[in-house]
Amino acid sequence: MTSRLAHRHQRKKQAPAAVPSGKPTAGPRLVWRGLVIAALLLGHQFILTLIHYLGGPALGIDPTAAGLNAATIIGAAAIIALPVGIDLRRQHRREAVGLVPVAWDARTIRIVAAALLISQLPLAILALQGATIWQAGGQAQLGIGRSMLSSSGPVAAFALGIAVVLIAPVIEEILYRGYLLGALARHTHSVVSVLIASLCFMLIHAEPANLIASLCLGVATGICRISTRSVWPGLAVHIANNAFGLWYLTQL
């Protein structure tokens, strides 16, 4: 009996180690997901730069032309939509990014209303001071925008309006509030994640006229994303903000 037990013990000691299942651990998955998000954000900015500052001038198009700006926004969105569309074919990925239905109840309406107020804080402060954005250091950028709209034909102006009011908000909300903020919120406090995502969003709108406004918009839409777990309320705020900004340019 003793010899049998000793034999079994010897066989257990000589048993081969378990073969790894091949399933990645949480650490590598987290790193991979972070790299994917960084690639999407940086890739989008790279494509915008490539089209606007290299492609357009190479064709002899003025960088301030409304048509080129519209083509830049729409073209970059179309290209980045390819990998995003492939990734979001799976339901759990759409849920992670916040592309889920939202109940437009009283609570959601209150969140959206508060976010709209936050997004317009810079203009409200200037209005209380009796000033305008022109007196806040954004004359050059706003002057370019106004001349772009006034000098463009109806087709180019319409294309620019669609690009600014619809296309840009959709792709930016998916990238910054969907991918970036969604990933941050799973690993950090919601306030920290909103601030980080908002600062990243501000960096791509670093013109003086847009600096504080883009930060407020990022915070506003980030609050919508965290509070409703969906990108749709923030997208509504973003569209309204850009539509108002475009209208504001026409009134200067």
In this structure, is residue 60 part of a structural domain?
yes
Phi-psi bin for 19: left (phi > 0), alpha (psi -120 to 50), beta?
beta
**Which pTM does this prediction carry?**
0.83
Separation of alpha carbons 243 and 91, rounded Å:
31
pLDDT for 224: 98
pLDDT of amino acid 142: 57
Say what the pLDDT of residue 23 is: 42
Is residue 142 a part of any domain in this protein?
yes
Is 116 contained in some domain?
yes
| Residue 40 belongs to some domain of the structure | yes
**Residue-range definition of the domain harbouring residue 70:** 33-251
Q: Is residue 6 part of a domain?
A: no
Whether residue 15 lies inside any domain: the answer is no
CA 118 to chain centre: 18
Structural domain count of the chain: 1
Query: Is there a domain that residue 22 lies in?
Result: no
11: in domain = no
Predicted pLDDT of residue 54: 92
pLDDT given at position 118: 96
Output the tens digit of pLDDT for each of the chain's 252 residues: 555 545 555 554 454 444 334 444 467 887 888 899 999 999 999 999 999 999 998 999 888 888 899 999 999 999 999 999 999 999 999 999 999 999 999 999 999 999 999 999 887 776 666 555 544 555 555 555 655 666 668 888 899 999 999 999 999 999 999 999 999 999 999 999 999 999 999 998 877 667 888 999 999 999 999 999 999 999 999 999 999 988 877 765
